Amino acid sequence: MGDIVDMRGAQGTGLLAFARYPDLEKAADRTAAKIKEGFMEMGYILKVARDTDILAGSGYASHEEFAEKRYGLDKGTVSRYIRIVERFSVGGSSHVLQEGYKNIGFAKLSLMLHMPDAIAEEITENYSKQEVQAIKEEIDAERAVSDIEVAIEAAEA
């Protein structure tokens, strides 16, 4: 027969058993995909909690309190989840990444939040986190120079 055998009912262990390697591989691939894209679902859920009155009567004063108390997410992570949804999801308000950003991952998308669209659109899943970090640092350095130049020009004027 193959496939996954759920051993929880039989022994209460919470373990899954697999009849064959392909069954194990399929289950692992499915789980890895859930983990990899789960931040998008959480980001969308938190965006809904922020943008609607769905938390009314829940005992939570805000989406940030909800995320912190229920899931241990700090405000910075909550903000990044929501901003990634707003910038990189289909329609800017869904739990599905736009095609060009699939397989990039949370860490790299977080760094890309600080990049102009034209640069972010060029980054693919083949870039390492270190490469994306270096691009972000270069952009930050360029912005700092521009800010200094503006301040100098204003002082001279």
Residues 6-45: pLDDT tens digits? Answer: 555 555 556 778 888 998 899 888 888 888 778 999 999 9
Q: How many Cα neighbours within 13 Å face the side chain of 148?
A: 6
DSSP codes joined into one string, 68-126: HHHH---HHHHHHHHHHHHHHBGGGSSSSB-GGGTTS-HHHHHHHTTS-HHHHTT--TT
DSSP helix/strand/coil, 126: coil
Place of tokens 């499915």: 30
Q: Give the pLDDT confidence score for residue 3 in this predicted structure.
A: 59
What mean pLDDT comes out for the span 130-148? 86
Does 49 have pLDDT greater than 50?
Answer: yes
Residues 56-104: pLDDT tens digits? Answer: 999 999 999 999 999 999 999 999 999 999 999 999 999 999 999 988 9
Q: Give the pLDDT confidence score for residue 1 in this predicted structure.
A: 45
Q: Give the pLDDT confidence score for residue 142 in this predicted structure.
A: 84
Residues 143-155: pLDDT tens digits? Answer: 877 767 777 777 7
Quote the DSSP letter at residue 97.
Answer: B
Q: Give the pLDDT confidence score for residue 113 in this predicted structure.
A: 95
Q: Give the pLDDT confidence score for residue 153 in this predicted structure.
A: 75
Q: Give the pLDDT confidence score for residue 18 in this predicted structure.
A: 82
Please tell me the pTM assigned to this model: 0.75
